[in-house]
Structure formats: C-alpha cells, structure tokens
Amino acid sequence: MNSTASSLAPSLLSEAESQQARLYIEQARDGLIGATRLLTQAQWEFQPRTDRWSVEQIVAHVIAVQERVIARLQQGFAEAPAPPKEQDCQTVDNIVINQFPNRLTRFPSPIPPERGLDRQAAVDRYVENCAVLFRILTSTSGLREHALDSPPLKAVSKGAYLVMDGYQWILAAAAHAERHTKQILEVIADGAFPLQ
C-alpha cells in the first residue's frame, strides 16, 4: 500500500484515548450499578414529585439514550461528514467529560422515560449497552474522522460547538449516565424516599 492510500485510511484511536474512554465507561457503569443495587421495588418506583422522575424512569432514560447513541454509531456513521477543521477535539472531549455530567443546569429531555421496567433487567440491559460501547470503541476505525450533529453539545457550549465525533459520542453516553446517576442520588436523598 502506498503512503497516500495509508494516510487516507480511517485511523484507530490512540491508546490514551481508548484508555480514557474505557475507564470513563467503567466508572459511569459502576456508579449507576452502585446507586441502584440495593433498591427495593418501592424505592425503585418512588417519584419525589410529579415533575421529577423515579429511579426507574431515570435508568430507563439512560438506557434509551445509550441505545440511541449506539444506533447512530452503528448505522450510517461511516458516511457522516468530517468534523470542522477548526474544531479542537481535545476541547470538545473536555466539555463532554467535565460539563455534560454537571446538574446545575437542567435541560428538557427529548426522550420521555418509560415505566414498568424490572430493576435487574434494566440494570442488565444498561450493562450490556456498556459492553456494546466498549466493542464499538475497540473495533471501529475512523471514530475521530466523522461527526454528527449534537444538540447537547450545542446547548452546553452555548452554540460554540455543534457536532461530536464518534469518540465524543461514546464519552457522551458515559457522561450522560454519570449525570443521571447524580439525579438518582438526589431522589434517594429526598426526605420522602421510602426506607425500604
């Protein structure tokens, strides 16, 4: 293969990028599992107020977003355009990791939470989705070469950045889980949360 052809081939992530994403997915996964592990059915379904979600609804929402990210990365991602040349990927990585989990600013969700999920089945599904994200991370070349429109990034960056590359979408799935694990802890800390 000549050097021109090899320079045009999609590249794999650096070891540092891959390690960072693996650790972030693991930390987010372990945090959500830890927050929900010992919940009773009453605690799982407890809704602090009608305008607040139960733990069940929060986990259902996290799963729905995970699966939306996975679908975007598995279907048509390779045909997506490149990120803008002027976009600094390290800056966007840092926004995703450091600002997406922040709960000081609330955003309306385009994905309404469902109810009626079995706690263990929901956690198992979440864990399997994390494993799929690991597989995409380690087996998909060109994650940095393509980008998709990102309303969350646009909102958090106040319009400074509009798209995320595939690697950033994987980070965002973990950041989203971290953000909502904090929300789960808020529900658990509610004064009316069932003792059992």
Over residues 161-180, the pLDDT tens digits come to 999 999 999 999 999 999 99
Q: For 95-121, what is the mean pLDDT?
A: 86
pLDDT at 78 exceeding the cut of 50: yes
Q: For 82-109, what is the mean pLDDT?
A: 92
pLDDT at 66 exceeding the cut of 90: yes
Query: Quick one: what percent of the chain has pLDDT higher than 70?
Result: 94
Q: What pLDDT, on a 0 to 100 scale, did the predictor assign at position 11?
A: 64
Q: For 82-104, what is the mean pLDDT?
A: 95
Q: For 75-97, what is the mean pLDDT?
A: 94
- pLDDT tens per residue, range 120-157: 999 999 999 999 999 999 988 899 999 999 999 999 99
Q: Of 110 and 57, which is predicted with more confidence?
A: 57
Give this prediction's pTM: 0.90
Q: What pLDDT, on a 0 to 100 scale, did the predictor assign at position 67?
A: 96
pLDDT at 5 exceeding the cut of 50: no
Q: What pLDDT, on a 0 to 100 scale, did the predictor assign at position 165?
A: 97
Mean of the per-residue pLDDT values for the chain? 91
> Which own/partner contact pairs does 76-84 have at CB distance under 8 Å and 24+ positions apart?
77/140, 77/146, 77/148, 77/166, 78/10, 78/142, 78/146, 79/146, 80/146, 80/147, 80/148, 81/146, 81/147, 82/145, 82/146, 82/147, 83/144, 83/146, 83/147, 83/163, 83/164, 83/165, 84/147, 84/163
Query: Quick one: what percent of the chain has pLDDT higher than 90?
Result: 80
Class of domain 14-188: mainly alpha
pLDDT at 116 exceeding the cut of 50: yes
